[in-house]
């Protein structure tokens, strides 16, 4: 709805006789159009702000995951899954803030362009504005409640389990043949001359770890990665 058509619709109502059916229909039509206009403006602003905040938050987290993958704490395959498991928490946090900013920005624009004054003159009270905003507020509140009560707790549980598994598996999965890898802030170093992913077999294995004043160094011609049937933890047999 354009500004001109809204003003014409608002100006047409007083010209009708009071109590006539035409006046009641005109007022109802005007309010319906105005409600759709305000709700659409609010939805557009909310979508833009929410998308921007979500992209910024996920980008910052993605950079942290990339650093973890470079340090050998995560594998490249698990990086995207870990990022996806953080989305529910980011949605839960950013959606209310984006909705608040959308309401403030929408009200500010309506005031700046005199549209609020026109709507108020036509009988759009603050209570009616609240009703128009509830069209978007209620679904967003329901979405946030779903994420807070269901999606986010499950995602956090899966994230913790996957992170724990990655801490155990990453040292073996992140091995690149012919390259040294550091772990735990440089306290442990691993190297393999050849790696067979299908059989989990390593050739030319070198392991070094510093435990206090003692340095432990291990050389082996070959090794094989196994998974414990009970604890599901991985270990290396040399």
Answer for the pair 82, 65: CB distance below 8 angstroms, yes or no.
Answer: yes
Q: What's the confidence (pLDDT) of residue 170?
A: 59
Average of per-residue pLDDT values in the chain: 77
Q: What's the confidence (pLDDT) of residue 93?
A: 92
Antiparallel, parallel or unpaired: β 234-237 and 188-196 = unpaired
Q: How far apart, in Å, are the Cα atoms of 85 and each of 79, 144, 154, 165? A: 10, 16, 9, 15
Angle ∠(59,62,63) on CA atoms, nearest 5? 90
Beta strands in 87-227 (DSSP E): 181-183, 188-196, 201-211, 214-227
Tell me the HSE value of 133 on the side-chain side, using a 13 A CA sphere.
Answer: 19
Q: What's the confidence (pLDDT) of residue 24?
A: 54
| pLDDT over threshold 90, residue 167 | no
- Angle between the N-to-C axes of helices 21-70 and 126-146, in degrees from 0 to 180, rounded to the nearest 10: 30
What's this model's pTM, rounded to 2 decimal places?
A: 0.61
- As a whole number, mean pLDDT of residues 114-119 equals 71
């Amino acid at each position: 709805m354009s500004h001109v058509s809204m003003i014409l619709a608002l100006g047409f109502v007083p010209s009708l006789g009071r109590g006539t059916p035409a006046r009641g229909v005109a007022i109802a039509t005007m309010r319906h159009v105005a409600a759709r206009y305000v709700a659409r403006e609010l939805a557009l602003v909310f979508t833009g702000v929410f998308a921007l905040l979500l992209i910024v938050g996920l980008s910052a987290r993605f950079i942290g995951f990339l650093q973890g993958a470079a340090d050998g704490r995560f594998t490249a395959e698990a990086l995207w899954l870990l990022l996806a498991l953080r989305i529910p928490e980011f949605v839960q946090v950013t959606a209310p803030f984006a909705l608040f900013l959308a309401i403030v920005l929408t009200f500010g624009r309506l005031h700046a362009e005199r549209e609020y004054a026109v709507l108020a003159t036509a009988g759009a009270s603050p209570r009616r504005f609240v009703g128009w905003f509830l069209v978007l507020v209620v679904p967003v509140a329901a979405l946030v409640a779903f994420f807070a009560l269901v999606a986010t707790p499950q995602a956090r549980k899966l994230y913790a389990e996957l992170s724990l598994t990655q801490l155990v598996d990453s040292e073996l999965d992140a091995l690149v043949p012919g390259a040294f890898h550091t772990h735990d802030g440089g306290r442990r170093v691993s190297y393999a001359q050849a790696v067979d992913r299908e059989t989990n077999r390593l050739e030319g294995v070198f392991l070094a770890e510093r435990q206090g004043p003692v340095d432990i160094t291990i050389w082996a011609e070959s090794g094989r990665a196994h998974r414990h049937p009970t604890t599901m933890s991985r270990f290396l047999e040399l």
